[in-house]
Structure 1
Amino acid sequence: MSATTPSTWLVTGATSGFGRLVAERALALGAHVIAVGRRRDRLAELADSAPKGLVTTLELDVTAPDAQEVLAEVVRLAGGLDVLVNNAGYGLFGSVEQIGADEARALFDTNVLANLAVLRAALPALRASRGRILQTSSLIGQFAWPASGLYAASKGAVELISEALAHELAPTGVKVTLIEPGTFATEFFGSVRVVEPNDVYLPTVGKFLEDVSALPPEAVGDPEAVADAIMAVAALEEPPLRLAVGADAIESIRASLRSRLAELDRWESFPRVPVGEGV
């Protein structure tokens, strides 16, 4: 698919951050954008600023029970789909022990189960067009820091779902790419829910949260770079499965992979329990 070819894009989380920037870029290419979000005023702003007829706005909470059916119908009415940017999600940080069941469930409902609902709604049309799927993950979809356990687990789920999906879709021509941004200046951080650590977790979770809040402005990237990366990879004939964006993402993921390989090598010859023995 050429970047200059008129196409139809479905972008979730299109009212702010990476989703809004990608929607604007796709519109600038002459694409029809199905912009999905929960904020009516932001969707109206996007529609008002776009060429007439190129935006279909959809005010929708992607965790709603009927979200899959609503999205599938909008795609049908649009006449097909070429690119899905599955971007909706939110952050929840705190110790694994202190995050309650209701908050954990809400996080996975949004970041994992809603992501799946969007995929199911879009996949028939994407198969027909041999289209592109861009899944927004995170550098901590590859590893976890103190305080990030539940959020990293939700993004790790998206990573493995997407990896399996890429294998499953390979014969159809549909390409899947995970976008793994580092730390970028979007509204994400303003909407993050933080569970403050108790005394037990002050040395780990508390220290990590303090360090993050003390990051200098130059440590936070320009979100335009992520939007540009999404647009570029969507146009590739053979895109990567994973694309880390930002120096911190690349360095941190590389360090994590090296650490895991070193641990695998170190424990490779550790005694194994023979088959049929043990618990």
Structure 2
Amino acid sequence: MHCSTEDYRGRHFVRLLIGMSIALAVLAIGLWLVRRGQDSDRLETSREHFRSVAGSLLSWSKFRGRLPYPVYRTSPVPAPIEVDSAVKSKRPLYSWRVALTVQLEAWRGRMDWNLPWDDPANVQLSDFSSFFCDDALAPKDSLHPFPETGILAITGPGTAFGDGSEDPVPLRGIPPQTILCAETRASGIPWPAPGDFDVRDMPHTINAPNGKGISGRYKGGFHVIFADAEVWFLSDGVPFDTLSRFFTVADAAKHNRDKLLKPFVLWGPGQY
């Protein structure tokens, strides 16, 4: 039985469609695997940043007996290692992130510590490749060369970092389960600038669509740093009210981290 020209063309067209569908499916899977690999690499980079900050905070605290706090205007101008000994009655000129980074990086550039972080005299500060930022996901603002921070401290009355009216709580007085820092996707704060999460007015949300408040730069969760330098990647399903029980020193001392937060851990100690 002979096939007509129309039948032959129809079958050829069907085979062509099937072949194209298979090729497109293979291409889509390949692109998905590449993107997944890139996301995995970026997530690992983000974890490395959080681990660096956690270890740095622990080292600073052991050396100084407390956490770093923002840099205020002082007179005379102190050496970089002393920039955090401050007069607390004025608005800070730099975040605690600068004080921590300058010491850890052993930076010896020229800066005027009595001028704000974004003053032209301190442009050399932009040379830092800060581990508080993810350059791939936090584009630089057009007005200055500093990318925004993706790591904010938990501040305010009763927190480990305090509210700026008094020195931070000594290391020995901080329960290990106290949350020191949390991730944010859209802080809007250049990393050297003063600004953090304040328990008095921070958004009571987890992974809000606008990225404000505590939010992860990767789908499904966000990083936090505890006072014992452990870094956990928590599911965005954790209730804010549960998480906030570990924001202040007094409240953290009353609650069991493993019982309340471990069920929401996606990655944690021993899983890196």
TM-score over 0.5 for the alignment?
no
TM score, norm. by length of structure 2? 0.28
- Provide the TM-score with structure 1 as the length reference: 0.27
Q: Structure with the greater relative contact order (CA < 8 A, sep ≥ 6): 1 or 2?
A: 1
| Structure with greater helix share of residues | 1
Higher strand share: 1
Larger radius of gyration: 2
